[in-house]
Structure 1
Amino acid sequence: MVNPTWEERDLPVLKAIVELYEESGGRKDRAGDIQKRTGFDEETVQKALRALKPANPPYVTSMKEMSGGFIVFVGAPTPEARRAVGLWPTADGLADNLIMAMSQAADQEPDEEKRGRLKTAASWFGNAGRNVLVDVTAAVINRQISGGA
């Protein structure tokens, strides 16, 4: 039986990659630095790096391998990596926050008519309209990331 590795191995390694990249100001990270950051042994870090390498979407821009497949350097984390470790927003997360904010606004609205409209909107977006809201927030995120106007 294959053990799931995302939460216990791959995500902590990816988080270390993002943190080290941010702290270094953008240099390539050494596998040894990732090992120190995670506290994992060399074999565990190498397995995680190999698992992250062919990912689609990709989590890093590049990896430098030595002969025998030993990964020594890891390039910049991608937007997908930043979202995976919780540093950048996801469409689902933003949609959930907006629905929660609508519900809270409805609870605090003194005007009964406005409160009813807010509750109706929050209910619709929380159910049937959630996919629409996720699509809209995804479009906004993608536009901001790509630098669109």
Structure 2
Amino acid sequence: MSVPSTWFERDLPVLEAIIELLNEKRPHSLLSINEVAEHLSRSKEEVRAATHALGEEYITLREFINGGDPGPYLVTSAARRASGQWPSEELVIESLIRGVPIAIESETDPEKRSKLKQFLDSAVGVSREVLVGILTSTLTQKIGGI
């Protein structure tokens, strides 16, 4: 017996709604399960299940003073990456590799065009895991040096 995936149908839409509501409508506020459910036109039970599944990796839940279900209060950087609000290392690499052919087409300097082609050939020949490792290492060093 396999457990059905809930990410695309339930959890991701709830996460995106929480991010939207916290960013635009209620910054620095505690949301209720009802507010998220109403925003999505979904049941409280479905939203409650999603918030528990999202857990600490994606959201921080806080208790209301007057009781009731804990509500989403903060989202993590993992949540912003999972929702596409912030780019992941993989997304940056994909964007870079998709952008190089466009740069080659628009470049008029033959030397620069040749270097871009060499870069693209090299990047495509390297595995995604290696590129992600290089990017992660570079970003970690840059951020750590701030």
Shorter-chain TM-score: what band? 0.7 to 0.9
Q: Secondary structure of the residue that 1:75 maps to in structure 2?
A: strand
**What is the deviation of 1:20?**
1.0
The 2-side partners of 1:63 and 1:49 are apart by 12
Distance 1:43 1:61, change over 3 A: closer
Question: 1:126 matched to which residue of 2?
Answer: 124
**What is the deviation of 1:51?**
0.9
The 1-side partners of 2:84 and 2:33 are apart by 22
> What does 1:2-41 align with in structure 2 at a 5 Å threshold?
2-23=3-24, 24-41=26-43
Distance 1:127 1:73, change over 3 A: same
Q: Give the TM-score normalised by structure 2.
A: 0.81
Q: Is the 8 A contact 1:62 1:76 kept in 2?
A: yes
Deviations 1:67-113 (A, max 9, x none): xxx73311200111111111111111111111222222222233444
Percent of pairs with identical residues: 33
Unaligned runs of 5+ in 1: none
Q: Secondary structure of the residue that 2:60 maps to in structure 1?
A: coil
Question: 1:106 matched to which residue of 2?
Answer: 104
The 1-side partners of 2:9 and 2:139 are apart by 28
Compute the RMSD of aligned alpha carbons: 2.6
Q: Secondary structure of the residue that 1:89 maps to in structure 2?
A: coil
The 2-side partners of 1:35 and 1:119 are apart by 50
User: How many residues of Structure 1 are paired with residues of Structure 2 in the alignment?
Assistant: 142
Q: Is the 8 A contact 1:90 1:138 kept in 2?
A: no
Deviations 1:17-74 (A, max 9, x none): 11111121211111111111111111111111121115xxx10123438xxxx73311
Question: 2:60 matched to which residue of 1?
Answer: 61
Distance 1:17 1:140, change over 3 A: farther
Q: Is the 8 A contact 2:61 2:70 kept in 1?
A: no
The 2-side partners of 1:84 and 1:119 are apart by 31
The 1-side partners of 2:129 and 2:4 are apart by 32
